Structure 1
Amino acid sequence: MFILFTLLLKISGLLRDMVVAYYFGDTYQADAYLAAFIIPNMIFLFLTTGMKNAFVPSYVEAKEKGGETILFNQLWKATGMISLVLAFIGILFSPVVIPIIYPNFQGAAMTLAIHTTMIFMGCIMFVGLNAVFEAYLDAESKYIFSVISQIIVLGTMISAAILLASEIGPYALAIGYLIGTIVSLLFKIILVYRHQMFQLATKVNWKEVRAFFVIFIPVAITVMVGQVNLAVDNIFASYFKEGVVTYVNYAKNLVHFPQAIFAVTIGTITFPLLAKSYAKKKMVQFNNHLEQGLMVISYVIFPAIVGMMVLMPSIIRLLFERGAFTAEATNGTAVVAYYYAGSVLFFSLAVIVNNGLYTLKKGHMLMMIGLGSILLNLLCNWLFTSWIGYIGIPLASSVVGLCYAICCYGILSKQVGGIFTKPSIIEIGKMILAVLIMAGAIVLVGEIRAFFTNSLYLIFAIFVGIVIYALCSYILKIQLFYFLLKYRKKQDHNRSMLEEES
């Protein structure tokens, strides 16, 4: 169910991008809107994902001692106050910061970028409160509700764009986001209130809150690193022709779709398991959860990335090529997407590794690696864009992703003693072989694409890819395939037993 709702969430995100592409194509309006969202979204991720990664282990530990209600009430009040201050500062300094970051924006593009940023900055208070409630729901394994609340935000953005984009342009999206965060917060307040977690009369003990934020801040900065690197990508993209900012953003969102569906989902489910194992000092179980999480991610992310790369132009054509988004924009986005493939692979694998380090309270180490990756990204962007133009931007991200994953894995291995066993390495080799055979089959399908419409070609190619990958998994005896098949049969058996009983 969680994977299903996460898929719905990411489809909603794609629909939003499709709406933006339809109304604004690769014009300065799209560039300005996408650039304006970068800095506020950096803060949103700082609060939301950072809060989850710091809150879940702390909440599980507090629950073991019976102090979870106090912890929750301390944090939502303190975070609300801090978020209000951040929102005020963000609105105040947007007219100063945006011209510095994007000096190549001129006239209407600069005005649009500044005002849109100010609207997004006004959302920070509601995002901060949402972050605490989402972290609580995740800690209680109620993942679906936090995903539903994010779908609400995307739904209001899409609705506002359809209703108002023709009159007020990209401002409609920012207003839709603001409305969505308020509605989403009300939705979660109702859910949490039913669990009798609220204690409105409780005063904030800033000494206890400060102890939590000592853990939270390094974790949140680490989470924010990805968005900082995206900001760096956008800054370099803004120095090229109109539309490059759009190519970079659409390509990255699309290529990272498998990471958002599979890696983040598996990481979210695995995180409380890691936290519980560590809290009970069951380190063998802790290591098993790490290995299992990495193996599952590998099994699904390898074919997803390779299949997407083979079919990339057709996917972009299906999703975006309409309205103001031209065939030229499709080609530009596809080329950028190819070079982002490495980043999605390495950062997907790093999700589980990072959760292990967060659980071990080693967030400060991840922060140092993250800050180092920003410097490396700046250097690689400068070198690669000087060498091969704007294609160097996604290539830099892939190189940074590789270095980041190696460093994080090295630190975790040192902490827990190796993660991958010899059988696991053999399994990964089988997965890679299965993916290569699958890719060859999809390429062969491309030879008859002239007989299909673009949509039918994609459906047929994806179907062939899934069947070939499953068949190879069966022939090569990939254990994860057999495990998932056995689990599915067990679920069907349990369901039939329940139906017979009722």
Structure 2
Amino acid sequence: MLGSASLLTLVTLAGLVAGFAREWLLVANWGAGARTDAFVIAMFLPEAIRSMLAAGLLTSSALALWQGRTPVQRSHWFSQLSMVLGLGSVALAALISLASPGLVHLMGPGLTAAQQADTVGALRILAWSLPGLVLQAWWAVPRQAAGHFLLAGMGSLLYNLPAMLYLAWQRQQSQEAMLSWAFVGGSLAMGLIMLPSAVQSGLRPVSLRGSRATMVELGHKLAPLLGSALAGQGLTLLERIVASYLGEGVVTAVNLARKLINLPLIALQSLNQVLLSLMSRSENERLVLLKRGLAAVTVVSLPAAVGLMLGAPALVGMLFPKVQGTAVVVPLLAGYAAVLVLASWNTLLARYHYAEGDTRGPVVAELRGSLLQALALAPLAWVSGSLGIVWALLAGTLLTGHRLLRAPGLQQGLGLWPQALASAAWLVLAWWGLRPWLSSDAWWQLAEAAAAGVACLLSMAIWLRPWRLR
């Protein structure tokens, strides 16, 4: 398990680094202001769909359907749904492109008229990245069913690389339209690299006759997961809407903080994909695998959270030394880091439900947590400014985790309370005990934060030893 997750992590990490490099270049070239805010909002819909697909929206719903078919049945089923999803994604791209003025007004009501016009132009182009994103995710189903993750894991790198290279080449002369087409090119590359593998898995030209039944079957599995994913992305959209009213550059700051926090999350995403595959095939060992996964997640996420909390000022200062408006990223990054451990547990607990065939339970849990977060977001942002976004996220994450732990198979407990208390102790020690004593020099501060993270990693690894759990 850990070996497969490590290989997938290495491949996907390159894509995540390219994605963060593209964000860094965008802010470094355009500044953390109105222009960047507008493009970040234009990117919301394509990024939301890509995030849902990368989190396993299609694979989680389709793995059981693939495993339940014979090789001959798989080929026809896979080919037919490839055509349906491909045509559907083209239609969705056209719809988003045509409806972009209304969508931009919804996503960024706090933007000026000039910003909204720029956002509409970018979104009309970015919408055409959807076919490549959808087909890449669908064509990954047979490979993940066979336990092969690396080729699909290259998708993020291929998507971000053209945009990163364009921004590095053109710098301040880069334009929204060309940058948008770079993302479309990246999405096409994602699909093309999976095409040979899809052909080997049985992809053939087939008739669409009878496709309604297969789409309905997939839809029944997909609907609960889609509801949960849409709730999460809806909250991200609500964050952007609230941030658009908090001042120029706050949308960019929230986006940057989320991108930075995604760096340690990539290992967790890889582990979750591997565990879902293992738990789907190992019914008798699901609980053992879940305990090992939770221990591994804690060992990865807690040190990352401690390091990010302590190193946020130095990290932001070093990444954007001459960019105005990035100071607000520091408290946001520290706050998101504190939620990192809880969010990683929730994701893994949801995968356990999926492996049990329960797609409704995680959706109900997610919706309740999302509702609490949505209700708390505006009032807390009004009271605490941008930090209110973090407090609302923490409240929703706690409620979601509480609901996920109420599954019948988990009533005997997972031993999470000791891990939760240890995590809380480390985070309290980092924020109130260590942070005031850190050096004011950026390099020393970053080194001290890294040292604290390493100390946390070693102590938790020695204690939990996830590689030895049985």
Distance in 2 (CA, whole Å) between partners of 1:27 and 1:318 is 19
Change (3 A) 1:299 1:387: same
State which drifts further: 136-145 or 301-310. 136-145
Amino acid at match of 1:298: T
Q: Note the 1:51-90 alignment, pairs <5 A.
A: 51-62=58-69, 67-90=73-96
TM-score, normalization by structure 2: 0.89
* 8 Å Cα contact 2:309-2:430 kept in structure 1: no
SS of match in other structure, 1:212: helix
Q: Which one of 255, 278, 303 corresponds to residue 249 of structure 1?
A: 255
Post-superposition offset of 1:419 = 4.2
Post-superposition offset of 1:77 = 1.6
Distance in 2 (CA, whole Å) between partners of 1:16 and 1:481 is 34
Change (3 A) 1:428 1:210: same
Distance in 1 (CA, whole Å) between partners of 2:420 and 2:397 is 20
Q: Which one of 449, 453, 456 corresponds to residue 469 of structure 1?
A: 456
SS of match in other structure, 1:241: coil
Q: Deviations over 1:266-293 (max 9, x none)?
A: 1011010111124xxx2xx111111111
Post-superposition offset of 1:371 = 3.3
Amino acid at match of 2:246: F
Change (3 A) 1:92 1:334: same
Root mean square deviation, CA, Å:
2.8
Q: Which one of 445, 453, 463 corresponds to residue 478 of structure 1?
A: 463
Specify the alignment match of 1:36 in structure 2: 42
Which runs of 5 or more structure 2 residues have no equivalent in the other structure? Answer: 1-6
Specify the alignment match of 1:397 in structure 2: 393
Distance in 1 (CA, whole Å) between partners of 2:102 and 2:419 is 53
Specify the alignment match of 2:168 in structure 1: 162
Distance in 1 (CA, whole Å) between partners of 2:332 and 2:418 is 33
Distance in 2 (CA, whole Å) between partners of 1:352 and 1:228 is 21
Change (3 A) 1:46 1:427: closer
Q: Note the 1:302-451 alignment, pairs <5 A.
A: 302-322=302-322, 325-326=323-324, 329-410=325-406, 412=407, 414-421=408-415, 425-426=417-418, 446-447=438-439, 450=441
Distance in 1 (CA, whole Å) between partners of 2:465 and 2:186 is 39
Q: Note the 1:64-213 alignment, pairs <5 A.
A: 67-164=73-170, 166-193=172-199, 195-201=200-206, 203=208, 205=210, 206-213=212-219
Distance in 1 (CA, whole Å) between partners of 2:14 and 2:145 is 22
Amino acid at match of 2:465: L
Q: Which one of 218, 222, 232 corresponds to residue 224 of structure 2?
A: 218
Amino acid at match of 2:386: Y
Q: Deviations over 1:149-199 (max 9, x none)?
A: 220111011122234454453333321110011112111102333x35222
State which drifts further: 154-163 or 372-381. 372-381
Post-superposition offset of 1:3 = 1.8
**Greater radius of gyration (CA):** 1
Amino acid at match of 2:38: A
Distance in 2 (CA, whole Å) between partners of 1:47 and 1:431 is 30
Which runs of 5 or more structure 1 residues have no equivalent in the other structure? Answer: 485-502
Amino acid at match of 2:205: L
* 8 Å Cα contact 1:434-1:473 kept in structure 2: no
Distance in 2 (CA, whole Å) between partners of 1:446 and 1:218 is 46
Distance in 2 (CA, whole Å) between partners of 1:440 and 1:376 is 28
Change (3 A) 1:247 1:224: same
Q: Deviations over 1:3-47 (max 9, x none)?
A: 212222221121111111111121111100111111333333445
